Structure 1
């Protein structure tokens, strides 16, 4: 016969304070290390963490979610990913799931509805330009305005510059070992690097890579334009870049024209995926410390533990609302 006691969860085998300590440790270090510190098997530690994360998520209120950021992060080496969805205004993860297909957005919409939210009330999304996210948003978040992350766009244009450089270096040896001079922003270069780039950018050098970099600088200026003039500025930029004779830059123009509305939308809402990039950095750092996870569900648990702002037990409050309301 089991007797309920106020200092332990039924069936747990641990006190509430011990479980709160485990959760505190688990948010900052690998589960294996928590197990070693507490002299418990890691499966028991995982059981504690998973129980509280799932129980706290059951009580999650998503009724106020209006602007959603989404991104994928690698679960393992190769083509193995999880997709993460965040409430941009609350700055927290609200959902994570396996894969990076359009259906991940469908699963998010269903989970949102299950937590008091309404997919039809999502007004804005921020994402990269993956066809999976675009298709999923159109189908499952039909009233959302898509904004494509400016930093993903900058990365795509930087790839174009690097493609030009790799082609040109075969005939212009001065471009050897200069890759990062072209890919970094000017402000992030050392004084020595700025001097080297300045020499390469001289008109007399007649470098195609230098011309590509100028097109990137002009594109970045799009985000500094007045919203009323921004569409015209981008049209003029595309018109000129198409005639640049630099195929990678011309390919980027095609990408811009294909995703025009989601790029222009930035001037209405200034959304970007900075929050998601920060969360991804936390998740990847935790994965590296743990040397990977046994499966994607465990990685998703860590995402919620570290980035969902769940009301979990703490040493000063070992019985949060979701435990006392049951």
Structure 2
């Protein structure tokens, strides 16, 4: 019988079974009427066995599509009148969580699609309003995060990102060893470090166990790290230091282009790696290096700092190289680089700490790019809570989410000769 086939296909076991299948091609849907075939059941509240049913309440759920048709499950969910605890309690259905109008498999499909497309696009594909899908995402992300353990976290990376262009900055905290997002919260001040410390404790971690905090030279992040992670070494991200040299180079070029119009259009050439130059950019840079322009000198100083970042693998290797660079930059008569040299000298211990293996924000920046790609797909997030939920879904490596509905079919087939 077709009812038996669909009972097995839906993964139902006695006393649940499909009683009737109604196909409505003109409406684009198929409906399954499910029956609970027992008259007694254990009490869901206290566990007392063989309790009589009190009544039944009609419920419906959206399921995965059947071919191109919407599939809906309907049943009268029984409630148990327990003589033991005196409560009347509804029996949980095996295919959906309490309070949801979607089956667990439908919600798992939502969580599978959301990281790869905007929720609005996923809603159009599934023919469901995006607000309803966001409620699904919020629930499962919240449940999964509550079960995450941060007990082994030792090194963290702190950075900031934005949920919308130029608006609502978010502080993000990553586990540098496990390469996962631990916590995200609105703001970019020292208070965000306190919120993370509290969240870390709630998930089994200890602020005193943190050995390294990798961050940029933001004064608020430095203050928060010293206050809430007093035993940790502060590591100033060396990629951020190189980015500061690029900013200094821009200042020199902008000041000089007013008197040297030949510098117009050279900005991208100055910032790209020489290996990535086009033929025209190569010609431009060869011309620039034959001049005595301040911009040419600034580019050489910046490239020297980038070379240190590439060559030095430990603080001991970086120390003499940086000291020579600081001597050069402080005497170069280019005020932006003299100012940068003073900044690096002031924070030299933290800058050197950033050369420890794995104690920098390189992977943090990669994860942030993934978040910004999600923001671009969504064209910005109206609610900061939505952006944070999506951040956890993409970068949190949550291990307690529902398995994808097609997990058994997602294996990559082996090629044969």
Scaled by the length of structure 1, what TM-score is found?
0.92
- Kindly indicate whether residue 157 of structure 2 is the aligned counterpart of residue 46 of structure 1: no
- Higher-Rg member (1/2): 2
Aligned mate of 2:381, from 271, 293, 312: 293
Q: Structure 1 residue 317: deviation in Å?
A: 6.7
Q: In structure 1, how many angstroms separate the alpha carbons of the residues matched to 2:140 and 2:101?
A: 14
| 4+ residue runs over 6 A deviation | none
Cα distance between partner residues in 2 of 1:195 and 1:270? 37
Is 1:215 paired with 2:301? yes
What is the CA–CA distance in structure 1 between the aligned matches of 2:221 and 2:138, rounded to whole Å?
A: 28
Q: Distance in 2 between matches of 1:188 and 1:19?
A: 44
Q: Higher mean Cα deviation, 59-68 or 271-280?
A: 271-280
Aligned to 1:249: 337
Aligned residue for 2:200? 112
Partner residue in 1 for 2:251: 163
- Once superposed, what is the RMSD of the aligned Cα atoms? 1.8
Query: Contact (CA 8 Å) 2:315, 2:353: kept in 1 or not?
Result: no
Aligned length: 316
Give the Å deviation of 1:17: 0.8
Distance 1:130 1:55, change over 3 A: same
Report the CA distance between 1:218 and its aligned residue.
2.1
Rounded Cα–Cα distance in structure 1 between residues aligned with 2:151 and 2:396: 15
Contact 1:162 1:183 in 2 (8 A): no
How many angstroms does 1:232 deviate by? 2.9
CA contact (8 A) 1:94 1:308 kept: yes
Separation in structure 2 between the aligned mates of residue 240 and residue 229 of structure 1, nearest angstrom: 18
Aligned counterparts of 1:287 and 1:227: Cα–Cα separation in 2: 36
Q: What is the CA-CA distance between 1:316 and the residue it aligns to? A: 5.0
- Mapped to 1, the partners of 2:317 and 2:92 lie a distance apart of 68
Counterpart-to-counterpart distance in 1, 2:113 and 2:167: 31
Counterpart of 1:315 in structure 2 is: 405
Deviations 1:128-186 (A, max 9, x none): 11111111111111111111112211111111111111111222222121111212222
- SS state of the match for residue 293, structure 1? coil
Q: Does the aligned pair in 1 maintain the 2:253–2:263 contact within 8 Å?
A: yes
Q: Who is 1:323 aligned against?
A: none
Moved more, 270-279 or 24-33: 270-279
Bigger proportion of residues as helix? 1
2:397 is paired with a residue whose SS is coil
| Unaligned ranges ≥5, structure 2 | 1-78, 80-89, 409-417
Change (3 A) 1:267 1:46: closer
State the alpha-carbon separation in 2 of the partners of residues 67 and 137 from structure 1: 12
SS at match of 2:235: strand
Specify whether residues 41 and 170 from structure 1 end up closer, same or farther in structure 2 by C-alpha distance, changes over 3 A only.
Answer: closer
